[in-house]
Each structure stands twice: as structure tokens, then as C-alpha cells.
Chain A
Amino acid sequence: MPKSLISIHDFSKEEILHILDVAAEFEKDKSQNILNGKIVACIFFEPSTRTRLSFETAANRLGARVIGFSDTGNTSIAKGETLKDTVKMVSNYADIIVMRHPLEGSARYASEVANVPVINAGDGANQHPSQTLLDLYSVRQTQNRLNDLTINMVGDLKYGRTVHSLLQAMSHFAPHFVFTAPNELMMPDEYKTFLKDRKIPYLETTQLIEHLNDTDILYMTRVQQERFSDPIDYEKVKNIYRLDAGMLGNVRKNMKILHPLPRINEIAANVDNTPYAYYFKQAENGMYVRMAIIAYLLGYK
């Protein structure tokens, strides 16, 4: 079975750092035709803007060609074809598969069925490892290091897969965490136990303002409506945090705001022009990191 990227645990610390170095190389030289003649399949069973476009752009910039679908309505999946059969067939056409699917564990299963590498571009609420790697890339780019940083995670820490994966990946680099969340959306115990086992310190607060000034990375997240079964629960928390430029007066000079995007109300538009906003650059970084992941899994970097 070829090496796939399904979960952030699939990459060692050394592999993570290697991907970041390769991504930096691609950022300097954005178009390298190293995958000329290769086919990248992007199969998206669920809507996505950034992830799909950045994977497709990444493949194109490497000189590969892209096939795939972004809507299952006009495929045989609508006729009831199983995931197994779809993946099996695509893996006979393409050299690597990028897949997003609403079911958790679907990407792991696809990697066991396919005979080419699979990149998980999001399997429901479970994992989204390319997002984690681009988050790490942005952290390192803004702070010139990964070690010994204070990461303040804000918003939906209960259902947000990006914060869970980032927490696990950062655990290699002696971080300090602040968890800013309403009581309904606190960081789950399993992740706090994970940190305790590794002696990584964390603080918890319900107030955004409380640890704003002693933070290196402010990792904002959207409260995702699609993760709530009860609309009243969603209404209670949807606008709980709103970062405004006026709140940034005493923050650390090196502080940078990251957000996996899309944002709704949690970051006011007036933050965009402050030196702390980094989320659009972060989204751009996604492209370089995805170039690095594709090139690495195909054995070119």
C-alpha cells in the first residue's frame, strides 16, 4: 500500500518539518513542472471552495493534470455506487487521489481500497491534515519558529476538527495553549488528557479579552452550524466571539491571527488591515503546502 496522508498522526515530526521545508521552496518558485504527465484525481463528495481550488491549483502548478468531480449529483454515486467501487475505479485512472467525504473514516477506508496514495481533504468532523500542515506552515512563517509558542484557540473547540489536529501536531513543539470557548463548546476531555499525558500546559477561559495580550498565535474558528443537531443551541453560541480592531491595542507585536476560513462574524472586517491579520496569507500558504504534500507522496520531494 503506498503512503497516504489521512490523519496528521500519519506523519512523523521529521516528515512534518520536511513538508514545511518543501512548501517554502515552492513558495519561492511557484511553478515547477516536476509532475508533468501525472494525473491528480480530486473527488469531492461534499462542497468546498478553498480546499478543492488550492489542491487543483497545486496540481496544475506542479505540471500535473486534474480530473474529478465536486458534486456527486452527476456521477454514478447518485445511482447508489459504493464508495469502495468509486475509489477503486478512480485509483485505476489517476496517480494520486485527493478526497473529501462527509463520513468519518472514509478517507482511511479509501486508502485501503486504492492502489495509489490518498490525501484526505476532510472526512466529516474527523481529520483535515493538509489544513493542519498549512496552519503549522503559517505559524512558523510568522514566528520564525514552532517551539515554545502560546497558541490561543478561540470558538468551537468541541466540534472543530482543525483545532484538534493542530493541537496534536503542535504537541511536538513544546507549546502553551489557551482555550477560549463558551461552556457548550469547550475542548473535549480526550484532548486535555492528551496534553496532560505530555505535560503540555493549557488554560481555559470563556472570555476572548482575557488572554488576548499574552498570545503569539490567535487561532480563531467559526462556530459551524452544520455540526449542531439543535438549532437553539447554535443560536445561543453563534455570535459569542467577535474580534474587533479596537481590541488589539495591547497585543504582542509578533501576534498573528489565523483562521481556517470561511469566517462569518467572528472577525470584524476592520481587523483585515491591521498588521496582525494573517488569514488570507494563510489560505495562500495552503497552495504551497498542498504542492509539497502531493510531490512528497508521489516520491518527487
Chain B
Amino acid sequence: MTMEDKQLKVTAIKNGTVLDHIPAENLFKVIDILHLTQAGNQITIGSNLDSKSLGKKGIIKISERFFEDEEINRIALVAPQATINIIKDFNVVEKKIISIPESVIGIAKCMNPMCVTNHENIETRFSTIVKGKEISLLCHYCEKVTDSKNLIIKSDK
């Protein structure tokens, strides 16, 4: 594939942030976690694009939006290998790597049906456990582990 092909598929932005190498199946989770459904910015989303490393990938380009590290690290749960490019005047001025946060607050749902967070209106809190490439979450309340396979993102905000 040539550079021109890529240009045609997802157009460049002038200023903003490009999130690339998102696993295709988690693209919409990333959109949820970053609350992009409520954003007023111009957003270009590509899904199921070819990727050498991921097979199929997703890409999100958000104009005039720059994220704090803390905000962007929240997507580590679903897109740990994503790359973040900061664009100014059509050029990449900074590349960021995602690091896994020590705690995850208010994003994920506890998989334990008997957990109090699934019955009362409580913001969920987890500490992250990293084993190899797998990230799992230890619930601050019920002390049970939610693994990445059972991860459900809360999108009620």
C-alpha cells in the first residue's frame, strides 16, 4: 500500500490529535472512554483499516483537541498499543505512548454481579494488574478481578 492510498482513506487534519493502531474491535470503546460522542469537534473515524501489526485497525482523528496524559492513558485498557500523534499545521509535532494507569476510575464495570457497584450508584474504582500483555482490574470494593475478556466499558456519561 502506498502513502497516497492512506491519504485517500482517512484525510489529514490541520491541528489536533490522531489516535492510530487501535484494535478494530475496540474502536468504539475508545470513542466511549474519551467521551467523543458528545464532542463538538470535527472527528474522522476509520474502522477496519488494514494494519501489519493488528490485522484490522481503527483510527480516530480529532481536530482542535489535545488530551492530557491522564485522559489518554484511560484507553490503555482497550488499546494498549495505540499511538498518539499531536498534529500542528499538518505536521506531527509530538508522539505519545500510552502508559498503563495504576488505577481506573469510573470507566469499567465490575464483572461480579454481586458487587455493590452494580447495585448502587457508585463510581467504580479498580487497581490495574499487568501480566504480560494482559491487563486485568482488581475491584476496590468487592476485591474480585475483572479480566480483559470480561471488560465492559461504562458509557453512561
**How many chain A residues touch the partner (CB < 8 A)?**
18
- Does A4 make an interface contact (CB < 8 A)? no
In the bound assembly, the distance between CA atoms of A104 and B143 in angstroms comes to 8
In the bound assembly, the distance between CA atoms of A123 and B141 in angstroms comes to 10
Task: Please state if B115 and A104 are interface contacts (CB–CB under 8 Å).
Answer: yes
In the bound assembly, the distance between CA atoms of A268 and B143 in angstroms comes to 35
- Decide yes or no: A126 and B142 within 8 Å by CB, A102-B114, A104-B112 being known contacts: yes
Instruction: Write the B103-124 contact mask toward A (1 if CB under 8 angstroms, else 0).
Output: 0000000001011110111100
On chain B, the residues within 8 Å of A125 by CB distance are 114
Task: Please state if A104 and B120 are interface contacts (CB–CB under 8 Å).
Answer: no
On chain A, the residues within 8 Å of B139 by CB distance are 105
Task: Please state if A105 and B145 are interface contacts (CB–CB under 8 Å).
Answer: no
Instruction: Write the B49-71 contact mask toward A (1 if CB under 8 angstroms, else 0).
Output: 00000000000000000000000
In the bound assembly, the distance between CA atoms of A147 and B145 in angstroms comes to 30
On chain B, the residues within 8 Å of A127 by CB distance are 143
On chain B, the residues within 8 Å of A83 by CB distance are 116, 120
Task: Please state if A108 and B140 are interface contacts (CB–CB under 8 Å).
Answer: yes
Task: Please state if A109 and B122 are interface contacts (CB–CB under 8 Å).
Answer: yes
Instruction: Write the A122-155 contact mask toward B (1 if CB under 8 angstroms, else 0).
Output: 0111110000000000000000000000000000
- Does B144 make an interface contact (CB < 8 A)? yes
Would you list which residues of chain A between 166 and 199 have a CB under 8 Å from chain B?
A: 190
Instruction: State the Cβ distance, A4 to closest chain B Cβ, in Å.
Output: 13
With most chain A CB atoms within 10 A of its CB, the pick from B120, B140, B145 is B120
Residues of B in contact with A, size category: 10 to 19
Task: Please state if A103 and B114 are interface contacts (CB–CB under 8 Å).
Answer: yes
Instruction: State the Cβ distance, B125 to closest chain A Cβ, in Å.
Output: 9
Task: Please state if B119 and A103 are interface contacts (CB–CB under 8 Å).
Answer: yes
A84 CB contact (under 8 Å) in B115, B120, B144:
B120
B120 CB contact (under 8 Å) in A7, A82, A190:
A82
- Does A106 make an interface contact (CB < 8 A)? yes
On chain A, the residues within 8 Å of B144 by CB distance are 104, 126
A104 CB contact (under 8 Å) in B121, B122, B141, B145:
B141
B141 CB contact (under 8 Å) in A84, A109, A190:
A109
Nearest A residue (CB) for B110: A105
On chain A, the residues within 8 Å of B121 by CB distance are 82
On chain B, the residues within 8 Å of A124 by CB distance are 114, 142
- Decide yes or no: A103 and B145 within 8 Å by CB, A108-B140, A109-B122 being known contacts: no
On chain A, the residues within 8 Å of B143 by CB distance are 7, 104-105, 126-127
- 14 CB-based A-B contacts, threshold 8 Å: A102-B114, A103-B114, A103-B115, A104-B112, A104-B115, A104-B116, A104-B143, A105-B116, A105-B139, A105-B141, A109-B116, A109-B117, A125-B114, A126-B144
State the B residues within 8 Å of A (CB).
112, 114-117, 119-122, 139-145
